[in-house]
Homo-oligomer: A and B are copies of this chain.
Amino acid sequence: MIRTETVRNILSWYEGETPGLKANLSRLLMHGRLAGTGRLVILPVDQGFEHGPARSFAPNPAAYDPHYLYQLAIEAGVSGYAAPLGLLEQGADTFAGEVPLILKVNSGNSLAASANDQALTGTVDDAMRLGCVGVGFTIYPGSDMAYDMIEELRQISHEAKSRGLLSVVWSYPRGGKITKGSGETSLDIIAYAAHIAALMGATIIKVKLPSDGIDLDAAKSSYEKYDVPHATIAERVRHIMQASFNGKRVVVFSGGEAKTREDLLDEVRGIREGGGNGSIIGRNSFQRSKDEALKLLGEIMDIYA
């Protein structure tokens, strides 16, 4: 399949980048069922690190096996598969080249007393060795460790991009001036999170789907005075895209915990309508049986296609 005009246009946004990086971005956007559409669905499996194996895989024990996760990603035809080091290694050879890989290079775990940081758990070298198209990195803007995380991102992103790897940034605000819970998914906070990722040079930005609340007092007047529309999912997604260099960055959204199929598909429709580039679907896929997961991922990709 020849690169589409849509993908060619997306690549043109990344002016500062090397042909090597653009080739990897093209690989991701030209892979799977959504190849060439400028949309993408990514399978992320970092829940084992974050919540432990039983909470992640007991609902569908086949998923304890790293090969199963590769197979799910390949059979579903998702655009890419993102996971920590061990999971990617166990399958990297068997499935070499069958699905674009993103190595998640930092991870938190829920045994820790506080949740304001993540540990570096992989290297750019690892990503090169495993044939990945990019590295994934989480930042927590607002947290006590946010500036340290941003500095780590700066280093890893610089190293990754200099070797042609995409920098995929999970931007998840928490702590600081942000209201615990509801504030973390409010519109202004998510827009800020996406903007920070864009300013940090992220190739792909991953944020949570925003609610319609505005959290920071200092921001409320701007939203009211300039009347930023945010009643519907589509409008909120549109604002997030605006905050992401006026739509000139690839942004994907996560929905969080497993929910009903209909809720999830409604969200996907909103993302598509608002101009978002796609979804990251984790627990909603690997915690279902393979048949159900393939069906759901198929429905999601049908909406985006």
Contact = CB atoms under 8 A, between A and B. Distances in A.
B16 A158 contact: no
B195 A248 contact: no
Nearest to A125: B158
Interface stretch (A29-37, A219-227, A270-278): A219-227
Interface in A192-220: 192, 194-196, 198-202, 216, 218-219
Contacts of A196: 49, 109
A235 interface: no
Interface stretch (A80-88, A250-258, A259-267, A290-298): A80-88
Interface in A41-75: 48-49, 51-55, 57-59, 61, 64-66
Nearest to A158: B123
A150 B119 CA distance: 7
A144 B176 CA distance: 18
A223 B54 contact: yes
B16 A198 contact: no
A107 interface: yes
Identify which of A93, A148, A194 gathers the most chain B CB atoms within 10 Å of its CB: A93
A292 B90 CA distance: 41
This chain: copies in complex: 5
A89 B120 contact: no
A242 interface: yes
A248 B66 contact: yes
A2 interface: no
A112 B142 contact: yes
Interface string A147-170: 110110010001000100000000
A301 to B, nearest CB: 28
Contacts of A92: 15-16
A102 interface: no
Contacts of A119: 146-148, 150-151, 154
B112 A176 contact: yes
Contact of A86 (B111, B188, B245): B245
Contacts of A125: 158, 162
Interface in A104-144: 107, 109-113, 117-123, 125-126, 129-130, 141-142, 144
21 contacts: A15-B90, A48-B199, A52-B192, A53-B192, A53-B243, A54-B239, A55-B219, A65-B246, A66-B245, A66-B248, A84-B200, A85-B200, A86-B200, A109-B141, A110-B177, A110-B216, A111-B189, A111-B192, A112-B147, A119-B151, A120-B154
Given A64-B245, A112-B147, A243-B64, A86 B198 contact: yes
Contacts of A226: 54, 58-59, 61
Nearest to A65: B246
A91 interface: yes
Given A111-B146, A113-B175, A242-B61, A123 B154 contact: yes
